[in-house]
Amino acid sequence: MILTLTLNPSLDRTIEIASLGRGAVIRAAAARLDPGGKGVNVSRALLANRIASRAVVPFGGDEGRHLVHLLFLEGLDMVTVPVTGATRSNVTLAEPDGTVTKINEPGTALLPAELDTVAVAVLAAAHSADWVVASGSLPPGVPADVYARLCRRFAGAGINVAVDTSGPALSYALAAGPALVKPNQDELAAATGMPLGCVGDVVEAAKKLRAAGARAVLASLGADGAVLVEQDSVWYGEATVTEPRSSVGAGDAMLAGFLAAGARGVPALLEALAWGAAAVSLTGSRMPGPAHIRREGVTIGPPDLARRLRAPTDPPPPPSHSDLV
């Protein structure tokens, strides 16, 4: 069983527009609402592929009740924790060429007592878990080392923790030795302070995250595919998407596929890429099921270190983010 924790879940509204113009009244072509938050999406993707998962989800206010209702309709196995602050709403503006502009609210503060209740729920559910996935941003009021504490708590119990987050929460978690981290290109650049212009830079940066404590690094690179760095191996892979619709949640689907396939080596990377590509071909943050996942479009091999990335990242990262790396 794969347990997911989403401390800052969301209602995801995706609005389809012809093109994004600042300061204009834009008439939308269509809109959809999905339950969201990174861990929630990992559980939704696993559910869509009939793999056992349970999601721990704090929720509050009308938005929170709506979120839980949507997850209930999907049939998600979840432990819900009522909290006082309202669940956030995140908005995606999706253009026909697949470009997405995302606006994520910060979320409402979780009180210390509420965080304790969430932690108890995680500990209670984790006894039957092979993996705990700690995903997404932290709402206000939550200490930046919360995922790190989770990693330390589970390290002795033989439960692997996968972390998908950014900024200080990622830096702290690295120092606590997670089994896996899944940064995207921007997160990897920010965590290491390295400009990422080619696949070789990504490999070097991912090795830096391993040196900082992560056992394995699955670096997702959007349309450029992904790099997997484990103790004894480095692999690069990509998958073609003929008609990209929305990349929102592609990283979550990718992480779900990776864990579903055993979380190691080429077979897991292949599945990760196939699930990620399938998510990109779907609207909003819809998670792909078996009917959408095409493994034949995936290629994997040793990395071509000189290969340029389509969108090089050259961040001047705030030093606090890379302090611990």
Ligand X SMILES: O=P(O)(O)OC[C@@]1(O)O[C@H](CO)[C@@H](O)[C@@H]1O
Known catalytic residues?
252
* Count of chain residues binding ligand X (CB under 6 A): 16
Token readout for 231 is 């103790």
Between helices 185-192 and 199-212, what is the axis angle to 10°? 60
| Minimum CB–partner distance for residue 50 and ligand ATP (Å) | 21
Token readout for 174 is 């690295």
Within 101-130, the residues that bind ligand X by CB under 6 A are 104
H or E element, residue 199: helix 199-212
Within 220-279, the residues that bind ligand X by CB under 6 A are 248-249, 251-252
Q: Which stretch binds ligand ATP (CB under 6 A): 5-13, 19-27, 67-75, 276-284?
A: 276-284
* Count of chain residues binding ligand ATP (CB under 6 A): 21
CA angle 156, 216, 165 (to 5 degrees): 85
Within 64-93, the residues that bind ligand X by CB under 6 A are 90
Instruction: List beta partners, residue 161.
Output: 132
| Minimum CB–partner distance for residue 116 and ligand X (Å) | 21
Q: Does 17 bind ligand ATP (CB under 6 A)?
A: no
Given a contact cutoff of 8 angstroms between Cβ atoms, the answer to whether 195 and 312 are in contact is: yes
If the CB atoms of residues 20 and 103 are measured against ligand X, the closer one turns out to be 103
C-alpha torsion 284→286→287→288, nearest 10: -100
If the CB atoms of residues 89 and 204 are measured against ligand X, the closer one turns out to be 89
Rounded-to-5 percentages of helix, strand, coil across the chain: 35, 25, 40
Instruction: Give residues in contact with ligand ATP (CB under 6 A).
Output: 184, 220-223, 225-226, 239, 241, 244, 247-252, 254, 273, 276-277, 280
Instruction: Give residues in contact with ligand X (CB under 6 A).
Output: 8, 10, 12, 36-38, 41, 90, 104, 136-137, 248-249, 251-252, 285
